[in-house]
């Protein structure tokens, strides 16, 4: 696990809740997110906590929506997750998201989290467009 990833920038500084979530890294082109599983992310069974996986999906989708809408503020109003498989300490998780539809007030988005080529979570969500900055 690295403190820096070449070609990626940290999505947010580690503060508050983000101390437990991050760091999360975003590729320069904005299409991929990277997250390394640390011991604080594990459940009692020694695998990635489901709530942590869902928080990561929320970050991946929220950041994708924010980047696509530029100055518009948004708010997640629905997040549906399916936990497909486990991740363990030291695994590097790759997150990707795709905006599937956009109306004047709602963005529809889907995402996947994977370790290597193995999907561990799929998610769909709705983000409400609140307006300009």
Which CATH number does the domain housing residue 71 bear? Answer: 3.10.129.10
Nearest to 131 by CA among 78, 76, 77, 71: 71
Residue 1 lies in a domain: no
| Euclidean distance between CA atoms 65 and 130, whole angstroms | 12
Residue 88 lies in a domain: yes
Q: Which residue has the tokens 């004047």?
A: 104
pLDDT of 120 over the 60 cut: yes
Higher-confidence position of 15 and 59: 59
Residue 3 lies in a domain: no
Residue 29 lies in a domain: yes
Digit-coded pLDDT (tens) for 35-84:
999 999 999 999 999 999 999 999 999 999 999 998 789 999 999 999 99
Its pTM surpasses 0.85: yes
pLDDT of residue 1: 47
Computed on alpha carbons and rounded to an integer, the radius of gyration of the chain in Å comes to 14
Residue range 111-117: average pLDDT? 97
- Total domains present in the chain: 1
Residue 69 lies in a domain: yes
Domain that holds residue 109: 8-132
Residue range 24-44: average pLDDT? 94
pLDDT of 88 over the 50 cut: yes
pLDDT of 30 over the 80 cut: yes
Band (17; pLDDT cuts 50, 70, 90):
confident
Residue range 4-17: average pLDDT? 78
Residue 2 lies in a domain: no
Greatest Cα pair distance, the chain, in angstroms, is 44
Residue 65 lies in a domain: yes
């Amino acid at each position: 696990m690295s403190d820096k990833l070449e070609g990626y920038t940290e999505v947010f500084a580690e503060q508050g809740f983000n101390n437990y979530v991050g760091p999360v890294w975003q590729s320069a082109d904005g299409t991929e997110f990277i997250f390394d599983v640390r011991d604080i992310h594990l459940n009692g069974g020694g695998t990635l906590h489901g709530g942590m996986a869902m928080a990561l999906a929320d970050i991946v989708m929220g950041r994708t929506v924010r980047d696509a809408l530029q100055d518009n503020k948004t708010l997640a109003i629905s997040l549906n997750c399916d936990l497909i498989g486990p991740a363990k300490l030291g695994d590097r998780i790759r997150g990707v998201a795709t905006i599937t539809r956009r109306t004047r007030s709602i963005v529809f988005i889907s995402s996947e989290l994977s370790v290597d080529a193995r999907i561990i979570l799929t998610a769909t969500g709705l983000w409400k467009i609140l307006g300009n900055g």
